[in-house]
A and B are shown apart, each in its own frame.
Chain A
Amino acid sequence: MEKKKFAGLDLEIYEHTLDNGLKIYVCPMDRYKIDARITVNVGGELEKFKNGEEVTVPFGIAHFLEHKMFSKADGTDISSIYEKNGAFGNAYTDDYSTVYHFNSPVNFWDNLTALFRCVNEPYFTDENVEKEIGIIEQELMALLSDPDALAYFKAKYNSYHNSVYKYPVIGTEDSIKAITKEALYMVYNSFYVPSNMHLVVTGKVNPEEVIKFAEEYYKDKKFNKVGKKVIPDEPSAVCVKEEVIHKNINNKICFVNYKVDISKFSLSNFELQRYLNILLLSKFSSLSGFNDVVLKNENILSPIDWRLDVKGKFANFNFTAEVIDEKVAINLLEKQFNNLKIDDEILDLIKKNWINGYILTTDKVIPTSTLINEMLIKYNEIIYEAIPIIKSLNKEKANEIFSKLDFSERAVAIVQK
């Protein structure tokens, strides 16, 4: 067990890897609530993988698996254990991972046992798979009722040719119906393996006891080798440049995704993503005056929201707004992209923002747990030097990176009447 410290924050983390490969991270905090989460490195990106032979599974299978892992052969529903203990427990799936979690101020060991059972005891039958299809279809319908989600899904779909990132993590109506218990077991046996998972615990706990518990739980348990995901080649160009979707809504919604290849940069992922976020903050946040321009524009009916979404070797710069004329909004974006240079003043303000963000985040159990887990998912390690790295970011490097980014590929999705 190794004790590490987050520089600039009163926060320590104990790291340990079990013999079976499970990585454990415990962050003691003097709070009532304890949060624990197990992350499996498999998510919406899964379509093809090798574990011996190459296998193709329906889109959305990782999310489906997440739903089914709560049911056990003895009739137990893991959610009911959490509820009986007065805990909050749930799970979610994103493109890269499936995260099972609970938080509660009491019954920690009982809940932790339930969490370990949740990811280690599969039980799929034709009947329980069939029943889940109806529930997940309704989850998909709820998403498709939202015009913002619809625009996002379409822009994402049109941005990619071969990659599974085209599809929603939840899958499509057809792919959900195609999921079988055999496919679920195949994915489970290939990816729900300790060396493909990590455990994060945050709160008032003794790290040694957590490690001892995990060692005891896995004693005598054997696992397969981890499957190897097959990631198809993806060209830099988007698949469809523009598409209009008709839905009975009042205001037109415009979603733009710039697909930018970032594989040429040799910086660490953390540093590179910080610089890409600096680009967005310096050019599209209220710090830049961009929102003052948007507010005064008659053709744009809402603020332009944006976010960075890195998928494999591509950075996706997402923008969305309610508009009268989408061309006006896109021209404003293009104008900003044509002048990407930044100065020291704005860079310093962004750094102060981020440092404050870390201080606020690490005051609470769940945000701290999320911060640690997201670093592990995004960067495969905890960035203990995050604050010193942020302080060291400089305008010369930023301007050099910005000058090498190519924003010529974009997919536009419009939802309108």
Chain B
Amino acid sequence: MDYIKKARKNYNIYFVHTDNFKTINVSFIFQRPITRLDKLYQTLLRKMLYLKTAKYGSLEELTRAAANIYNPVTVFSTKTSSQYRTFTLQAEFANEKYTEKGMNKKNLEFIMDYFWHPAVTNNSFDEKLFAICQKNYIEELKSLKNYPDTYSLDECWRLLDLYDFEMPSSEELIEELKKITPQMLYDYYKSMFTEDSLDIFVFGNTSDDITDIIDNYIYGDFAPSIITSPKRFAEVRAVKEKREKSDNPQSKLHVCYKVLNPTSYEEKYISLIFSMVLGGGTESYLHQEAREKQSLCYYIYATSYNLFNVILISSGIDKRHTDKVLTIIKEEVKKIQNGILDEKRVKEVIKTYENVLLESRDSQESLVNSLVSEVMRNADDMETKFQVIKNITCQDIIDFAKKIKLDTIYLLEGR
């Protein structure tokens, strides 16, 4: 992808001119090495920043101001990428060519205000607003068990032991959350200006002068940018198993495999192709066997988390079928490890992936994600991806399958 990189003293701006879209898309990505409570602080911060700014003192005022400039879609998101934690402010708004002259600048400033000019009094976040967000987050954590898909996935993810620290449970997070004060959250927020790196991505049908608006508006002594590399495992451990009971009518089964000593090529390409062959879509081996042939579940799918070198298989089942589905998963993996792999199926999956790459050119958000992966995660560019996937062979997938080891089985057992 052609882009202009503007390296500033403390941050980078990547600008892509494209006349394919009616909108302008801008992303501010903050990144830092992960610690045990980052998720807690970042989620709380995200909730606070949405509700008011220094300029607009209530949600009503903020929403009305947004509507007045044709409602930019502004989203804060947080995510773990390998051993790093990212905090992203992403926004999309109609290009002023379709609304009113001057709206691009107004939108950009409005969006940046969320992070750069939050509501602060006496060097701390507003106490009342903080109490609301803290309560709201505690209730959200308490309700987690109500939602079996999310809860079971979180629990399974904790069992994987992916970090140098133990991931806190929702009960532990609630206890930690109760200890946080508005001052502590404000200190965390301030630390982002020195401890996080900042990379900014701007896409749209406009001149690259638009980045001047950003340069003139933001401040911060950000850390140097980091290129994230995947978490790697060198040893097998004993399989961790956990079964929990619930009163839901359906059981949720998650089975995780870790990839031992993969090559960079396997991490970038084969992990994804393997998971699609095994459990991506209705023609996948798992779907065909567990749902179509044996009617054991409504859904079963495999996902590759290549930044963690984890392959996750998830299924919603009747509890009577747990052992049968587990056996199918192990057998289907074993078959590939033993070289039983249909070349036609592999070609279909490669074609699907090619189509995904092709279609990503239709979406500004996909193009942004692709460029983010390229510059922050060391992913290959689009053209390289097209070239590489053409040459993937069955043997590549079989070799990769031999490197995956069963690591974790989690069952949230229904009634």
Contacts and interface: CB of A to CB of B under 8 A. Distances in A.
A236 interface: no
Given A86-B354, A356-B70, A141 B359 contact: no
Contact of B67 (A135, A295, A349): A349
B118 interface: no
B283 A285 contact: no
23 contacts: A32-B362, A83-B281, A83-B352, A85-B351, A86-B351, A86-B353, A86-B355, A106-B358, A131-B295, A135-B298, A138-B316, A145-B250, A250-B142, A251-B139, A251-B142, A287-B64, A289-B58, A322-B139, A349-B64, A353-B67, A353-B70, A359-B23, A364-B363
B143 A251 contact: yes
A286 B142 contact: no
Interface string A346-370: 1001101101110110111100000
B23 A32 contact: no
A244 interface: no
Given A84-B283, A144-B248, A359-B22, 15 more contacts: A79-B281, A80-B282, A86-B353, A135-B297, A142-B316, A248-B246, A250-B145, A287-B64, A287-B67, A291-B59, A291-B60, A292-B58, A355-B99, A360-B23, A360-B92
Interface of A: 30-33, 77, 79-80, 83-87, 103-106, 131, 134-136, 138-139, 141-142, 144-147, 247-251, 253, 285-289, 291-292, 295-296, 301-302, 322, 346, 349-350, 352-353, 355-357, 359-360, 362-365
A286 B65 CA distance: 11
B89 interface: no
A108 to B, nearest CB: 12
Contact of B283 (A83, A134, A135, A141): A83
Contacts of B132: 295-296
Given A144-B249, A287-B64, A302-B136, A86 B359 contact: no
Contacts of A83: 281-283, 348, 352
Contacts of B23: 359-360, 363
Contacts of A32: 358-359, 361-362
Contacts of A359: 22-23, 94, 98-99
Given A32-B361, A86-B348, A360-B92, A135 B291 contact: yes
Interface in B51-71: 51, 58-60, 62-64, 67-68, 70-71
B127 to A, nearest CB: 13
Contacts of A285: 63
Contacts of A292: 58-60
A145 B414 contact: yes
Contacts, number: 164
Contacts of A288: 60
B24 to A, nearest CB: 11
A220 to B, nearest CB: 32
Nearest to A106: B355
Contacts of B311: none
B219 interface: no
Contacts of B71: 352-353, 356-357
Contacts of B348: 83-84, 86
Report the interface size class on chain B: 35 or more
A304 to B, nearest CB: 13
Contacts of B139: 251, 301-302, 322
Interface of B: 20-23, 51, 58-60, 62-64, 67-68, 70-71, 73, 92-94, 98-99, 128, 132, 135-136, 139-140, 142-143, 145-148, 246-250, 281-283, 291-292, 295-299, 316-318, 344, 348, 351-355, 358-359, 361-364, 414
B299 to A, nearest CB: 8
A295 B291 contact: no
Contacts of B135: 301
Given A104-B355, A145-B249, A251-B146, A352 B60 contact: no
Contact of B250 (A103, A105, A141, A360): A141
Contacts of B247: 247-248
Given A80-B283, A85-B351, A146 B362 contact: no
A352 B72 CA distance: 11
A90 to B, nearest CB: 9
Nearest to A355: B70
Nearest to A203: B362
Nearest first, the 9 A-B pairs at minimum CB distance are: A86-B351, A138-B298, A349-B67, A286-B63, A289-B60, A145-B248, A79-B282, A134-B295, A141-B250
Nearest to A105: B358
A98 B93 CA distance: 33
Contacts of A86: 348, 351-355
A301 B136 contact: yes
Contact of B355 (A80, A105, A136): A105
A285 B63 CA distance: 9
A180 to B, nearest CB: 17
B277 to A, nearest CB: 11
